[in-house]
């Protein structure tokens, strides 16, 4: 079997169209949704993410503000910036790009964000609300994965989803979202990780496999059941002397081999990446509706 490609680029464009209508509706009421992003330091991958978020806002007509702070910014200073954004009425949602420099306590910063403006859904209140099935903001990458499954005709209801990776940003929340008694969920979920014994014996049971452990091309064809749906969350930069830039981006899945066995697969780039950005935009728009007492 050769897999059909689930194009995150195409699905994200369809969602952007839906968002354009919502943003026009808000603007007709005199409301401009606003999203702020705080970046501390000069990590090139983080700089790239933050640039992409700003571009996506501009393209949709979302007011965007990017606050770049030097790597030696104190925790106290960052907390005061968070406090200002909590109070700023032009900013409906915001996020602090992770990872933060080592001298800053990430949990302390996430705890300081107003849960009602937490566009990433990383505040413990929002993590808890997601888990109990009463979400306010869902984290963008796991929510994007759910949308890709549903919109490609692979509703996870009743399926066995095997998640590989247990990060707070992808593995844990995607498991929590897909196990809910809710539309686009109702899956049976297994979470495997770096300490799982005989990992392949688990991944081979997956009707849907979500690879989110950050190891280039780790998931091989013999680890996947024939006809499985494979979602690749990895973005790993690998050296490639034949590429113009000397490197290229690969996922956590050995794409060329796995696509001959899967029924559906997401590419890297052009898969989960574009979905993450558009789902963040959706959070900014829903935040603007909510802040004005309106239904999205
Ligand atoms: N770093 C990697 N992914 C993310 C994300 O989705 N949000 C934030 N704030 N930082 C990240």
CATH class of the region 140-273: alpha beta
CATH number of 30-114: 3.40.50.10860
What is the C-alpha separation between 217 and 202, in angstroms, rounded? 17
CA of 130 to the centre of ligand 1 (A): 17
Residue spans of the domains in the chain: they are 30-114, 140-273
Active site residue 134: no
Q: What percent of the chain has pLDDT above 90?
A: 99
- Note whether 35 and 63 are within 8 A (CB): yes
Residues 196-222 have pLDDT tens digits of 999 999 999 999 999 999 999 999 999
**Exposure of 191 in the CB half-sphere (CA atoms within 13 A):** 14
What's the pTM? 0.97
For ligand 1, atom 9, which residue shows the shortest CA distance? 97
Residues 30-87 have pLDDT tens digits of 999 999 999 999 998 899 999 999 999 999 999 999 999 999 999 999 999 999 999 9
Q: Is the CB of 67 under 6 A from ligand 1?
A: no
Given the CA of residue 120, which atom of ligand 1 is nearest to it?
Answer: 7
Q: How many CB atoms lie within 10 A of CB 253?
A: 31
CA of 275 to the centre of ligand 1 (A): 13
Same CATH topology for 30-114 and 140-273: the answer is yes
Q: Is the CB of 95 under 6 A from ligand 1?
A: yes
Residues 248-271 have pLDDT tens digits of 999 999 999 999 999 999 999 999
């Amino acid at each position: 079997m050769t897999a059909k490609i689930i194009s995150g680029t195409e699905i994200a464009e369809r969602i952007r169209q839906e968002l354009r209508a919502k943003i026009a509706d808000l603007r007709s009421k005199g409301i401009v949704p606003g999203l702020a992003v705080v970046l501390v330091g000069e990590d090139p991958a983080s700089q790239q993410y933050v640039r992409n978020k700003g571009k996506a806002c501009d393209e949709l007509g979302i007011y965007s503000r990017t606050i770049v702070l030097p790597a030696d910014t104190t925790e106290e200073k960052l907390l005061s910036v968070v406090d200002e954004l909590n109070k700023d009425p032009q900013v409906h949602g915001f996020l602090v790009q992770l990872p933060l420099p080592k001298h800053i306590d990430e949990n302390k910063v996430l705890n300081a964000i107003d849960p009602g403006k937490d566009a990433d859904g990383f505040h413990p209140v929002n993590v808890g609300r997601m888990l109990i099935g009463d979400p306010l903001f869902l984290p963008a990458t796991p929510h994007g994965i759910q949308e890709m499954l549903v919109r490609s005709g692979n509703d996870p209801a009743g399926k066995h989803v095997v998640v590989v990776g247990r990060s707070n940003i992808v593995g844990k929340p995607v498991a929590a979202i897909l196990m809910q008694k809710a539309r686009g969920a109702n899956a049976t979920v297994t979470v495997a990780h770096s300490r799982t014994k005989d990992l392949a014996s688990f991944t081979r049971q997956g009707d849907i496999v979500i690879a989110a452990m950050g190891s280039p091309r780790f998931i091989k064809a013999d680890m996947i059941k024939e006809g499985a749906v494979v979602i690749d969350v990895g973005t790993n930069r690998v050296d490639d002397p034949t590429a113009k830039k000397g490197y290229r981006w690969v996922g956590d899945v050995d794409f060329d081999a796995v696509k001959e066995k899967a029924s559906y697969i997401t590419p890297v780039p052009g898969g989960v990446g574009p979905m993450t950005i558009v789902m963040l935009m959706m959070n900014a728009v829903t935040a603007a509706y909510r802040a004005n007492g309106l239904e999205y």
